[in-house]
Structure 1
Amino acid sequence: MSTPAQGPRHVAIIMDGNGRWAQQRGRPRLLGHRAGAKRVREIVEACPDNGVEYITIFAFSTENWKRTQEEVAGLMGLFRRYIENEAQDMLGQGVRVRFIGDRLRLDVKLQRLMNWIEALTAHNTRVNLTIAINYGGRDEVSRATKRLARDVAAGRLDPDDITDETLPRYLDTHVLPDPDLVIRTSGEARISNFLLWQSAYAEYEFVDTLWPDFRRSDFEAVLARYSGRDRRFGGIKA
């Protein structure tokens, strides 16, 4: 059974290329991350006009801790400033903000800001922005499995009742629909441990544009290509 062509409800983006964008200009990598953060606003603002209800962005992976201390510290500072500077605008624009990933390794001030903006925007419905920070798909599944195992051990869940619909209820994204479309910028063609379970039947687009140069027109071009695809979900075309 195939699904008629239509725009994606949920788009996930691997925002790659910030560092290279800065290096091409002879500037520090952190400058590229700042430019990339500014690009987020433009893409989020384009979502409602294009029928996109959910957008999930990959901001910092569990593997990104391997980067230099200077870059990691700079990114953490950038996340804090982004929340502080964008909160009121997101509230006014009807954006609901959520975070996925393991927060425990993040500094306390950042955790408090994340909790604050989630509560501040909790009643917004125009577009749902989910930001993945200290997130990895394998780590998420591992943490979800531990929670599931605890429920089994406590007698709250019968192992015989576990199906492929059970684990998603324990994932960070349990309140979100699965992504219809995953976009990766910068020309790299890999998924980098992002939404492994959720994107099992997502469509993928790998674009050459570096994230700081990925504009609304580029986004809308990808959405248009998606609408021309035939999604069969393992079936055959009728």
Structure 2
Amino acid sequence: MTGPRDSFRDFLARRDFLAVSAISLIGLARGSESPPDGDLLYVGTYTERTHSEGIYLIRMDRRSGQLRRVGSVSAGANPSFLALHPNGRTLYAVNELEQYQGRPTGAVSAFAIERDTGSLTGLNEQPSGGGAPCYVSVDRSGRALLVANYAGGSVALLPIQANGALAPAADVDQHAGKGPTPERQEAPHAHCILPDPTNRFALAADLGADRVFVYHLDQRARLYGGHAAFRLGARRAYRPRRTLDRTR
């Protein structure tokens, strides 16, 4: 069955468009004045069935709004969503695949950011814990990467090592359920996961299950590959409250 993300990818592929899914503004995020050569943007794309080169580096002039491409980096297949580490020294990307190294999962990649130029150097890749990862975020302490796997209908937590590289997933949770629209909600499709402002909870929106799952972020350190790691604790699920559409 073709889902909403499949249709979107097909739309872009037919027109050979650059699929922009995430932009990180380093200069603006730091609250600094615009540098003389413009703010640096990172742009994630779909690479399958397109001419995209991966992640693009673009300079933006704040006054004119002009965009100028300054480089690109090969980042594996479909680096379609990006997230910056809170310290600004590492960039993370999903690799939106349904098969990775012969397994039914996508991947996530980590890149070191060169301080002076903003250029990217690959650190490592890890399986995402489910098919077609479409969203990543970093917890507010910078110690854990949260991933939503759209086709797999799961969420995962990967510990972040001292140099910004990713350890294997410490926790993967499989969602269950479906919604009232069979063509889009026949199975769980996790499509977002974010830490709350207190960093005590993570909230995951699931289109297919028609629910928002709330997890406790367990910050009790345990040894994981020599590093302290978070875990996803108990979850609760909330169905969005609906009202009758009386406009028809």
TM-score normalized by the length of structure 2: 0.29
Q: Which has the bigger relative contact order, CA under 8 A and spacing at least 6?
A: 1
More helix by share: 1
